[in-house]
Amino acid sequence: MKKVLLILMVVLVVPSFAEKLNLDDNKLVEKFGALILKDKLDIYDPDEFGQYVLEKDYRSKYQKVRNDEFELDDAKKWAFDKFKEKLNKVKPLDKNADYHLILGIKFQKYDFKNKRFPIDALTEGSYMQYGGKNDIVSSYSRSKLVFENATDDVNFIPMSKDEAKKFVKARKDKYGNVDRQLTAHYIYKIAEYKEVDEFKPNGRKMTLKFVGKLKSVEFMDKKQKHVLKKVDFENMGNTSPADNNTNK
């Protein structure tokens, strides 16, 4: 299936999840890049790398030593060692940690045959894009998150015709427009991450590919006060239907 970037879905900033791991945090994305670089730093030329770090992070020091080849050589070694110290302070990430993805989604017109509302949400081939801080990982949103178990099979809200009629009516404005906005809260683990565009000490930044494995999703009203359906991806088929108070 063709990969689909979810450009129509607004990633919501939700204070209640601010303390949770979310790849919207460019510092977190940067940390993944730092861990990759930490494991492969020995493959780089320390002289070239030291020059890069000196010019980038210690500009005033570089200006003082650049015309004296002996001072410059010492300064490059110093800068490289400083960078190694910085990387050594980066702690490993918890492989079992939960990550959160909050998306604005929409429900479509009622499917009378199957008695449900189809919804636009993550599906096979969908991916999100993220950026780092431009220290190691590019700040442009070129790092991708894909999901190994995303499926369109769960993207619906079951509801009887009578309930669905009330559900839509409660979302109509005085002009007859229906507010079809909902929220999806996904919880997933990162099964794998790897470098795509390699970091190089010439200014080229790294890009990453994350592979996520979905654990669950809650489809909610857009204010996130009312769960319409919950899916447990780890036990597919175990879903919680919408509760009866559909007018919220």
Structure tokens at 164: 């669905």
Residue 151: predicted pLDDT: 95
102: part of which helix (H) or strand (E)? strand 99-107
Distances (CA, A) of 164 to 142, 159, 241: 40, 6, 13
Strand 208-221 to strand 143-147: parallel, antiparallel, or no bridges (unpaired)? parallel
Instruction: Report helix, strand or coil for 143.
Output: strand
Distances (CA, A) of 110 to 8, 62, 70, 229: 21, 66, 75, 16
pTM listed for this prediction? 0.85
Residue 240: predicted pLDDT: 58
Please give the full DSSP string across 189-244, using - where no structure is assigned.
EEEEEEESSPPBTTTBPB-EEEEEEEEEEEEEETTSS-EEEEEEGGGTTEEEPP-S
Q: How far apart are CA 227 and CA 77, in angstroms?
A: 57
**Which segments in the chain show pLDDT lower than 50?**
1-18, 243-248
Residue 223: predicted pLDDT: 81
